[in-house]
Amino acid sequence: MRTRVNAWTPAPPTEADPDPHASAQHAAQVLAGRRTVVLTGAGISTPSGIPDYRSPGSPPRNPMTIDQFLSSADFRRRYWARNHLGWRHMDAAAPNPAHHAVTALQRAGTVSGVITQNVDMLHLKAGTQPVLDLHGSYGRVTCLSCGRTQSRHRLAQLLESANPGFADQVRSRGVIEVAPDADAALDDTTGFTMVDCADCGGILKPDIVYFGESVPRNVTRNAYAMVDDADAMLVAGSSLSVMSGLRFVRHAAQSGKAVVILNRGDTRGDRFATVKIDHRCEIVLPILVELSRTSTSPDSTALV
């Protein structure tokens, strides 16, 4: 279940590690010769313009829960009206150097796979394969009654037809704040018309795991298999405050695997870390790539 851990709060803004090269070198020494599974969170995507919930300086946000979404048509109308505006921003986002670095490490044979808590598809856009979308993807929509799936692009066309000019009218009022999970800040959604499943008339839901909703068992099983198949874990851009991600870090550590955590501020998984780096993913991950490329001897401390 994607639940928050109430006993922990994100760290306040901190000064980043003053020497990211030294930290990257330390991480390289730990990961050298080990097939590494990467677990990523929102912090890897903030440089691409996608806001997150918990990094230092992030404003407080209240994401919709699955109980709210299912409880009434008014909540669903609010969600789809806001999503109709916000998903475009996520769809237009491009991978940043951190995503490309993960792809480069994977192509070099260092990274065996990626488990992402993000729904933004930026790893896929960067060419990383395989990627396990732990919390789903903004690009798919499913019917809760018959299971029919469709692309978010197709639903956008249907919503636009049902709400002609809606996005332009909202934008004319001023700047729209984009929120995480393909959402947008919008208070008045009473005039928005929803679209139901074309096959059965059922409720449409984005293929995203809401807070309070369980990650599908097959996804969890595949994630554990990826961790078991690796020799080490690299966490990039996650505070690990959500148990659905923290459990894999705990599992890796309890299995005797090295764990490197790269994140701004403290994380709930720091006690499991072999190495903790307080810095930005888009700075440190490309350094790891360079270390792998400049390795010239078996005794090198680079990643491969």
- Residues involved in catalysis: 135
Residue with tokens 């929803």: 194
- Nearest CA to 238 out of 230, 228, 246 is that of 246
What is the number of other CB atoms lying within 10 angstroms of the CB of residue 174? 7
Exposure string over 192-221, b if 16+ CB within 10 A, otherwise e: bebbebeeeebbbbbbbbbbbbebeeebbe
| Inter-helix orientation angle 243-254/217-229, to 10° | 30
What whole-number distance in Å separates Cα of residue 278 and Cα of residue 14? Answer: 8
149-151 vs 178-179, strand pairing mode: unpaired
- Nearest CA to 113 out of 134, 97, 140 is that of 134
What whole-number distance in Å separates Cα of residue 156 and Cα of residue 208? Answer: 16
What whole-number distance in Å separates Cα of residue 233 and Cα of residue 41? Answer: 14
Q: CB burial class (10 A; 0-12, 13-18, 19+) of residue 253?
A: middle
Residue 44: what residue type?
I
- Nearest CA to 55 out of 94, 12, 111 is that of 12
